[in-house]
Each structure stands twice: as structure tokens, then as C-alpha cells.
Amino acid sequence: MRQELPLNKDGERRIFRRSGYDTKTDAQADLDKVRALLNIAGKEDTEGRRRLGDLLETVGASKDPLPNYEETKRKFATGQSLTEHMTVGEWLELWLAGKKGLRTSGKNRYDTDIRVHLIPRIGHIRLDRLTVAHLDEMFEGIAETNEEIRDGNILRRTALDELKLIPWKGLENRRRRKAIKDTIAAMDPFRRTTGVATQHHIKATLRAALNVAIARGLIVFNAAAHVELEEHRRPKALVWTDERVAEWLRTGVKPSPVMVWTPEQAGEYLDFLVDRKERLYGLYHVITFRGLRRGESCGLRRTDRNRAAKTLTVATQLVQDGWEVIENAPKTDSGERVIDLDEYTDEILDDQAAQQDAERLAYGEAWIDSGRMFTMPDGSFIHPGWLTDQFERLVELSGLPPIRLHDLRHVAASLMLAAGVDIKIVSETLGHSESRITRDIYQSVMPKAAREAAEATLAMVPRAARHPEPEPTAPALEGVEQTAVDRLIAQIMAAAEQDGRPVEEVARMALAHVSGRAVEPVADTDGHATGTQEDAKIIAFRPRRVPA
């Protein structure tokens, strides 16, 4: 079979030749394919026909099969090279370089997916030849690597434990210790496995890149859209109830990766910080009650506080890149927000500012003016990684059940929700992009709210017959009723002390006042809110302030 091709760029003639056909019919079929490929470009399109001639010349020299007509037509129409084929790795690097609007943390996450997982495993495959089978094989390889990592970690941990048991003294013991140390040195270091959540992110990264490739006409099929992975479920946030604390003390195992302190536990932690005169008390207070992210609290600037309006503007954050710290915009557009402050938190921030002024004077010329609201003693910014380590150490010293620093943000959300704050306001305070995210994360945090909703639903239906009323018994004060009485007693004693009158006299006045009007029932709550959803208000939670 023989077909003359368009002249090359130097004006030289060239011919496509191929032999070895069994029949004339087979040869004619290939000749028709060659002519169809050449006719993709119009007769007047000299440059286009030359490009098609280059393609056929390359195929003829390599003796590869003839190119697919539809694929060649698509590449020709989008101006792609017909003789060079982009690999998955080349495209991923080109795609990431074109992502101009990404925040640093997002770009680093994409880069990790591409550099650590995608390019090593599928980077060599032609972009237009990538299939679902290739991706299934990639994720199977990740699973096998995970098993190898787990086995290696177990061996290393076993060797380290054995080393701890060998005494230092004695020639034989020293030899054994040296042998085990040599063995440990030859082992891989402890490594993290690639979990289900990370695998889903890898898939999402590849899918996004391939969607852009489709939009540019490089491919027509997105293989990543058809890969099935193990379902990833976000861990539910659970409250540290007495039962869960007792089980944790017994086993040392957290019920969930995401745990939330009760209001009492949160108050105990804040009081612990006050007792030890923790210099960063204000930072932990703001996270606990207003739900800032770690990087947002480290990134707060003094100028972000409006004293007159009693607000904080979250406009920047400090994020880790390795161990390096980069200043960046908040995690999402909705993360840039203005947060209202209560009077007590405003006072706490006044104390923090006064402390910082004192430290500035003490350091003199050595003071580093980072402009941050919360700083190290010398004025430098707080490293987010250091803050996480510091928080975990303080929690351990407090004796409270463990939570992560990020879980203080969950504490803030649960307090607001338990106090009846509208879900939209909670979402805006936390900086979530939509209230659905807030609801999905925290719907199980306060089961008491769900019980109250169930009781309210039941009360909506009038019934002629009710359960038999219990026999009257001596009145008992329990739960919230007892709490209310305790508060009343405390108020009576405080009033008596302030006015200089006997406690009995003030108590009689209070009883006379109560007997003169109907007593309003006290709502059964967790101690966070009073009233209905419409008129709900947060009960002041006022831990002791750090002494000056």
C-alpha cells in the first residue's frame, strides 16, 4: 500500500508505505483510512495537511497502527500535537501550574496528591489511554503499601520496646543493645498509611484535573469519575459523658476521634488555666467561646479588634507548610467574617493587651513587633504546630479527658447550639460555607436538645387520655430545680452581705415576693439556655479571670 503525503516543512516529498497484507482488500482498507486522515484538513489548509502528513510519516516509520480517526479529528480541531502524546504526569503538572487562585494550603494538598501518589503510580501512562483499570490498580497498590507500612511500624515498635527492656550495664547487655540499635537503624522510619479520607482526596484531585483536560479537548473520558472506593464517613463528635470518661480511664481509648467537653469540663479547663496563670488564657478563651480555627487565632492582629463595636474581624490566618509558617487568607471565603464579642470576652482581651504591653516594656529593643494579638513572650508570632503541642500538654496536666485543639471549636459550637442560638448564626460564627455543614457535624453533639425536641413534638398533639398520674409524694428537688434553689440561696446570701442585713430577713422578703405571684416553671435544660427557641438566651458562663 502506497500513499503520497503532503510536502514537509522543507518542501520535500514523502510517501506513506506499508506492506505485509494478506489480501488486497486489507491493503485497500488501510489506504482508505490514510486518505480519510489526510482529508480531516480541507484541501486549502496547507498547514493542517502538513501536520497530518507529519503524523502519518511518524506512524509509518514506527510501524504503529494507524491513528484513530475520531481521536485525531478531535486533537486536530483543538490544536493539539498529533505526533507527541502527553502523559498523565505531564498533564497533572501543567494543570497544577495553571491553578492561580488556590490558597497555599490547598495548592500544597494538591501537590502532595500528585507528587506522592499520582505521578509515581500512573504518571507514565498516556493521558488519552488512562482507564478505570489503571486507577483500580493504583488504589490496590496503595492498599498493599499500607500493609507494608503497618508491618514495618510494628517491627520497629517491637524492636524499640525490646531495647527499653535491656539493662545498660554488662558487656552482654551492651552487645545486645548495639545489635538491636543497628537493626532499628536499618529499618524504615515510622510512616503514616494512606487512609480512606486521603484516598478520596487523591481521587478528587485526579478527577478535577481530568475534567479540565476534557474541557480542553485533550480527552473525552474521565476515568476517575468511575472508580469506587471504600466509603469515607466523617467521625461523629461525641460528648465526654461520665460513662465515656469512666470507660476511657479504664481502657485509655477515646470513643471517637472527635470528642467534645461538656460545659462543666470546659469551665474546669479554663479555671485550670487561670489557676496556673497561663499567659495565653485569652487565646484559649476566644477559641472556646467563639470557635476560631487554630490558624485564625494565631493570625489575629491587634488591628482586627474593634473596641468600640466589640467585634473581631477574622481576615488572615497562619498556616503550616511543612514546619514553615505562611500567612494566608482564611480557609474559605466565608471564613472571612466579623465576630461579635460578649462583655466578658472583651474584658479578657483587654487583660491580654495589657499583658502584652508589659512584655513589650520588659523586652525593650529585643521585642519583635509581629502585630499579632496573641504572641510569644518576645512578641513573635505563635507557631500553629507549637500551639497544638502546648494545648495537648495543658490538657494532660489538667487531668481532663483528651480532646484536640480543633475540638475546642466544637465546644464553642455545641455551647451555642445548646443555648438555642440559630443554626445560621452558629454557622456564620464558625465560618462555615453553609449551615448544612454545621448541622451535619453537630447534630449528634447535644442529645439533650434532641430529647427536648421529641417532648415538644409529643406535646403538640392533644390527647383525651393520658398516662395515669403518679400518686402524690413528698416534693423532691432534683436536677435543674435543685440548681435553681442553690442559685436563689446564693443570691440571698450575696444580697444580705451587700446590704448588711440578716440572711433570714432577706430570705423572708424573697419568699414574700415569690408568694405574691405565680412561680414560672424552670425549663429542663443542660444549664446553657432558658426560654423557648425564639427567646432563648445564653446563660453567662463566667470563669475566673487571670489575675493581673
pLDDT tens-digit map of 27-68: 889 888 888 988 888 888 888 888 888 888 888 887 778 888
User: Which residues contact residue 11 at a Cβ distance below 8 angstroms, ignoring those fewer than 6 apart?
Assistant: none
Alpha-carbon span 144 to 403, nearest angstrom = 32
Q: And the C-alpha cell for 504?
A: 433570714
Are the C-beta atoms of residues 388 and 284 closer than 8 Å to each other?
Answer: no
Please report, for the chain, the start and end positions of each structural domain, with discontinuous segments joined by +. Answer: 2-78, 89-225, 238-455
pLDDT at 460: 57
Q: Which of 359, 349, 352 has the alpha carbon at shortest distance from 379?
A: 359
Alpha-carbon span 272 to 393, nearest angstrom = 13
Alpha-carbon span 283 to 428, nearest angstrom = 20
pLDDT at 451: 55
Report, as ranges of residue numbers, the positions in the chain whose pLDDT lies below 70: 83-84, 322, 331-335, 433-491, 493-500, 503, 506, 510-548
Architecture of domain 238-455: Orthogonal Bundle (1.10)
Would you say the C-alpha torsion 330, 335, 341, 344 has a positive or negative sign? negative
- Looking at 3.30.70, 1.10.150, 1.20.1070, 1.10.3470, the CATH number of the domain 89-225 comes to 1.10.150
Q: How does pLDDT run across 286-330, given as a tens digit for each residue? A: 999 888 989 999 999 999 999 999 999 998 888 887 678 888 877
Pairing of strands 317-321, 324-328: antiparallel
DSSP 189: P
Paired with 444 in beta bridges are none
pLDDT at 328: 80
Cα dihedral 419/421/426/428 (nearest 10): -150
pLDDT at 375: 96
Paired with 222 in beta bridges are none
Residue carrying C-alpha cell 489548509: 45
Cα within 13 Å of Cα(217), Cβ side: 13
